[in-house]
Amino acid sequence: MSTATRVVGTAVDRLEGEAKVRGRALYATEHPVDDPVFAHLVQSRIARGRITGIDTGAALEEPGVLDVVTHHNAPELASTDDAELAVLQSPDVGYRGQPIAVVLAESSESARAAAGLVRVEYEQAEHDVHLSADRDDLVAADDDREQGDLDAALVRADVVHDAVYTTPQEHHIALEPHATTAVWSEGALTVYDSTQGVHWVRDALTDLFGVDPENVHVVAPHVGGGFGSKGPAHAHLVAAVLAAQRVQPRPVKLVLTRQQSFPIVGPRAATIQRIRLGADAEGHLTAVGNDVVAQSARLKDFTEQAGTPTAMMYAAPNRRITHRLARLDLPVPTWMRAPGECPGMFALETAMDEMAIACGLDPIEFRIRNEPDTDPDSGLPYSSRNLVVCLREGARRFGWADRDPAPGTRRAGEWLVGTGVAASTYPVNSMPGTQATIHAQPDGRYRVLIGATDIGTGAWTALTQIAADALGAELDRVTVSIGDTDLPWASGAGGSTGITCWGSAIVDAARRLREEVPEGQPVPEGGAVVTGATPDNPHSGQWSMHSFGAQFAEVRVHRDTGEVRVPRMLGIFAAGRIVNAKTGASQLLGGMTMGVSMALHEQAHVDPRFGHVINQDMEKYHVASCADIGDVEVDWVDEDDPHVNPMGTKGIGELGIVGAAAAVDNAVHHATGTRVRDLPITPDKLL
Ligand code: MOS
């Protein structure tokens, strides 16, 4: 046995924390490069149509301007299959705000000033940006599910709930905006990108530019936040790389302004969800349905799979879930923290609160009564499902037992007071292909190489903890390198899979190392090098794997103004082993904070006349600030799940946001007696 203290589970400080607070951590456009050129995008001012004329004369005359790249002079892409990424390849316009030219100059100020001088003429086509459930051109996404007979069960049910819930288009507000430094030199491309996955970016660029993967180098050691939109490549990345081709070997730096990021990196799709629930007289669900209509784009389909959690949350023999997409002349939606589960659980968990009341049951008791033995969707047993434990533990700590269920009866001065609960869930996803290499050195030190990314989550630190335990080494003997395609291939930070995929590859490499150099034996002079990979999980297909949680919220609603405050939240989660108690708690707390923001603030207003978001900045697109967030407490229950992966982890990046908005909404109902079914809960909806 090793004498090293196990570090998984402890609250290790973020290893790169000091570099970050001292300003030594380099972000995408801070890496030192020689003689950079600054790029600024020109964006389309129509939502649909084509460019008939583009006059770059005045822009080119601006001092310091080097080039204006348009569809007339842009290098040709090797692949234009993806309409979102076929940047500057044709005069066609698919959404307002789409990049239609790149101005290159000696300073970012010159580039930005000159971008305003590019004159564009359009042949405008009629656009359509209106999301509604009764459009006759909705298209089916291919993930409908049906069990039993929902309609017949609703007819037979003693209690029926049938209501429509809506969630708005939302946007990513990462601290570091999407940004890229791109350098072409002798046929090889180097990109410093603000990305959730360096190899994802490399693979996208390999296809788009027809270059061999060996000739594309993507670097992202530090990333200032990513909530999904930094997973897939977006148009600005292609624009930067095309522009760099024109001025090579000079590097090109492109930073999106906050306003530009609204259309260019994709929103969370708006949803309209019709939830139908049927129950018998004892409050056992007999029917569960969710018909989802979600915003998609004419350029490319994206399915916000909001119905997915409805498939597996509660027992009911009759179930139907449908997804229909509206292909609008809007930017292509993208992943945003718990895509699908987040808006889907807002609808389902608000409906569950309404149904509990209709059945005359406490909302916790109602959920416990409908706890399934096996996953109703797949029929598989759960590898672990501790929702009930979370609900009970949360109820105890939150003081739920004293709750008077009558709505609109508690006052604190001018404020109405209420409490609410909702469940949370997120699947244990996995992606294949990640590799990790370990160099063991004769002095007892280890270097671990893996192309993972830390988007601010603490993943870098957590992987170092996992490596240290797997190697039986002290933490300070292990150095993990991430964020570079020169390192072994890794999947990106997405779907809460990072620790599962990357950690499993590291554990596999450590196991191989021990086969070569058994513990206690000296490492040969010159060291030992092994590479491992994320193994196929032998348990997959045999167990249903999800994390769960219980979210509690206390709200105060002002009697006269309808203002909602959230002084207190509690989240109790069951997410397998938590690798780092500090950064893990921060992930869950951050998710809940984003959930309060979703509940009360976030909403893009699309102007139907022009097809753009009118509140496309942080002044008018509100995200929760410190003053909006009260006391948020996070904890988890011990959960030992031997099926998910060798570390017993389930993923925590997205779980914390799921259900949080419903808990707030349910508390608002308890405070006021008013049920809000469309987010965000703005004061006008309560007056
Ligand atoms: Mo997450 S939306 O998969 O980055």
What's the pLDDT score for residue 519? 84
Q: Are 507 and 646 in contact (CB under 8 A)?
A: yes
Distance of CA 285 to the CA centre of its chain: 31
* Ligand 1 contact via 228 beta carbon (within 6 Å): yes
Q: Could you confirm whether 654 is annotated as catalytic?
A: yes
What's the pLDDT score for residue 534? 96
Cα distances from 120 to residues 39, 70, 113, 235, 522, in angstroms, run 18, 11, 16, 19, 69
Q: Are 529 and 493 in contact (CB under 8 A)?
A: no
How far apart CA 10 and CA 458 sit, in angstroms, is 13
3-state secondary structure of 590: helix
Structurally, at CATH architecture level, domain 431-533 sits in: 2-Layer Sandwich (3.30)
**Closest alpha carbon to 347 in 270, 275, 268, 423:** 275
> Which residue among 654, 655, 657, 658 is best mutated to probe the pocket of ligand 1, counting the most ligand atoms within 8 A of its Cβ?
654
Residues with Cβ within 8 Å of residue 423, at least 6 apart in sequence: 313, 345, 349, 352, 367, 387, 390, 391, 548, 549, 550, 551, 659
* Segment 485-498, tens digit of pLDDT: 999 999 999 999 99
Domain boundaries, given as residue ranges, for the chain: 37-126+189-225+231-261, 271-429+541-686, 431-533
Q: What is the ipTM of this complex?
A: 0.97
Instruction: Compute the CA torsion angle 517, 522, 525, 531 (nearest 10 deg).
Output: 20
171: how many CB neighbours lie within 10 A of its CB?
Answer: 26
Q: Where are the alpha helices (DSSP H) in 222-362?
A: 235-247, 258-264, 308-312, 341-358
Dist. CA 173 → ligand 1 center (Å):
14
- CATH of 37-126+189-225+231-261, picked from 3.30.200.20, 3.20.20.140, 3.90.1170.50, 3.40.50.11290, is 3.90.1170.50
CA nearest ligand 1 atom 4, residue: 228
Query: Do 37-126+189-225+231-261 and 271-429+541-686 share a fold?
Result: no
* Ligand 1 contact via 336 beta carbon (within 6 Å): yes
CA neighbours closer than 13 Å in the CB half-sphere of residue 629: 18
Ligand 1 atom index nearest CA of 496: 3
Polymer length in residues for the chain: 687
Read off the pTM.
0.97
Using only C-alpha atoms, the chain has a radius of gyration, in whole angstroms, of 26
* Segment 166-209, tens digit of pLDDT: 999 999 999 999 999 999 999 999 999 999 999 999 999 999 99
Q: Are 292 and 310 in contact (CB under 8 A)?
A: no
Dist. CA 114 → ligand 1 center (Å):
35
Catalytic: which of 304, 341, 554, 654?
654
What's the pLDDT score for residue 1? 42
Q: Which regions of 20-125 does DSSP assign to beta strands (E)?
A: 37-43, 49-55, 65-69, 92-93, 99-105, 119-124
Dist. CA 169 → ligand 1 center (Å):
16
Cα distances from 156 to residues 151, 281, 319, in angstroms, run 9, 11, 14
Fold of 271-429+541-686: Aldehyde Oxidoreductase; domain 4 (3.30.365)
Residue ranges of the chain whose pLDDT lies below 70: 1-3
Dist. CA 339 → ligand 1 center (Å):
7
For residue 678, give the DSSP letter. B
